[in-house]
Amino acid sequence: MKSRLCGADTLVREKLEPRLVKAGLVKAGLAEAKASAILTAIHRSLTVLVEVLREIFDESAYQRFLDRSQLQSSPNAYAIFLKENEQAKSRRPRCC
């Protein structure tokens, strides 16, 4: 996650900022602030996207299980998690 965001940071600094200045859209002094705002927006979007995927794919649920039971991730811990969640998961209807 961190490295992906670093990539985005570099992209904004190296590509976007000079373009904004060159296009006259923002003055040089403002470019950094604009770039920073864009970076924050990208960061927030990526974080939300990753969190959505982690929730949909039960990775967050597994993490919560590990925190709750104070276990380290392992095949055994995952087996217990699956067993605990089997009933709840099986009762969840899938929509048409």
Partner 1 sequence: MPKIARYLLWIAVSLLGAFALATIALHRGEQINALWLVVAAVSTYAVGYRFYSSFISAKLLALDPLRATPAERLDNGRDFVPTNKWVVFGHHFAAIAGPGPLVGPVLAAQFGYLPGTLWIIAGAVLGGCVQDFIILLFSVRRDGKSLTEMAKSEISRVGGLVAYVAVLSIIVILLAVTALIVVNALKSSPWGAFTIAMTMPIAVLMGLYLRRIRPGKVLETSLLGFVLVVAAIFGGQWVSQTPSWAAVFTLTAPTLAILIILYGFAASALPVWLLLAPRDYLSTFVKLGTISLLALGIVALRPSLHMPPLTRFADGTGPVFAGKIFPFAFITIACGAISGFHSLISSGTTPKLIRHETETRIVGYGGMLAESLVAIMAMIAASVLQPGVYFAINSPAGIVGQAPEAAATTISSWGFPLAATQMATLAHAVGEQTLFNRTGGAPAFAVGMAQIFSNTLGGEAVMALWYHFAIMFEALFILTILDAGTRVGRFMLQDALGHIWKPLGRTSWYPSIFLTSAVIVAAWGNFLWQGIKDPLGGINSLWPLFGICNQLLATVALCVATTIIVKMACAKTVGAKTPRLSYVFVTLIPLCWLVAVTFTASWHKILDPNPRIGFLTHARQLAAAGGNPRLIFNDRLDAAVTGVLVVMVAMILIESSLECMRVISGSKPAVTKEAPFVMTKLAVEEHA
The residues binding partner 1 (CB under 8 A) are 48, 51-65, 67-68, 73-75, 77-79, 81-82, 84-96
Q: Judged by CB, which is closer to partner 1: 23, or 95?
A: 95
Least separation in angstroms between CB 26 and partner 1? 19
Cβ closest to partner 1, residue 39 vs residue 78: 78
Residue 40 CB, nearest approach to partner 1 (Å): 16
Shortest Cβ distance from residue 8 to partner 1 (Å)? 18
Q: How many CB atoms lie within 10 A of CB 76?
A: 10
To the nearest whole angstrom, how small is the minimum distance from the Cβ of residue 59 to partner 1? 5
8, 34, 41 from 2: Cα distances, Å: 10, 21, 15
- HSE-CB for 61 with a 13 A CA cutoff: 14
Closest of 23, 47, 50 to residue 34, by C-alpha:
23
